[in-house]
Amino acid sequence: MTRANARTPVKLHKNVTLIRTSEPVIAEELLARKSLGRLILARLSETVLLVKPDEADAAVDELRKMGHTPRVAR
């Protein structure tokens, strides 16, 4: 098999619930909000937050309560 045709070994994480912000400071703001912070399991990068899988609706509600109008990708 040539290098060009080589398949890259990967691990897939499917149906993950995430929040992505355009700026790190917005992620900080979200994490600082107590009612939203409890729904967030981890910060995967400066701008990507991992949300508890069964708390998606609550997280969207919280974002809206904070005045955000998130783009919701389903």
Partner 1 sequence: MASIPSTGTPADRPGRPASPFPEDADPRFVFRTLLGRTPLAFLRGIAAGRGHESEAVRAPTLAGELTDQLDDMLSLAAVRKELSDEDRLALGLFGLTESRSWPLAGLRHTLKALAVDADAVIAGLVRRGLLAVDLPPEIEAADPSHAITAEASGDLEIWAHPSLTSGGRPRLPAEPPAATAGSVVQVRESDGLEPILRLAALWQRTGAGPLRRTQQGVLYKRDRERIEEDGVLSAAVDDALVELPALPTLWIGLARRVGLIHVDPGDESLQAAPAEFWTENAVHLPQMIASAWLGIRSWNEWADPTPTADGPAPGPPLAFLRPAALLWLATLEPDAWTTLDDLAARLDAVAPGWERITFEDPASPAATNPRRLKNPNRRGPALTREAQAARVLERILLGGAYALGLVRVGEEKETNRRAVQLTPLGRYVLAVGPPPPPRPTFEHFLFVQPNLEVIAYRQGLTPPLVGRLSRFAWWSKIGAAVELRLTQESIALGLEWGLTASQILDVLSQHSQRALPGSVKDAVDRWADRREQVTFYSAATLIEFNTRAERDQAMISWEAEGAPRRPFVAVGDRFLLVENAQEIPTARISTTASRDYRLPPERCVAVEADGVTLTLDPARSDLLVEAELARFADEGPPPSSAPSRAGGARRKFLVSGASLDRAADAGLTPPILADWFRRRTGEGPPPAVRLMMRPAPTSGGAKPWPARRLLILTAPSADLLDGVLQHPETRPLLGDRLGPVSAVVPEESIDRLRIALRAFGLEFELG
Interface positions with partner 1 (CB under 8 A): 7-23, 26, 30, 41-42, 44-45, 48, 50, 53, 56, 59-60, 63, 68-74
Min. distance of Cβ 35 from partner 1 in angstroms?
Answer: 15
Residue whose structure tokens are 């969207």 = 60
Min. distance of Cβ 52 from partner 1 in angstroms?
Answer: 8
**Cβ distance to partner 1 smaller for residue 32 or 74:** 74
Comparing CA positions, the residue from 68, 63, 69, 27 lying closest to residue 45 is 27
Ramachandran category for residue 67: left, alpha or beta (phi over 0 → left; psi -120 to 50 → alpha): left
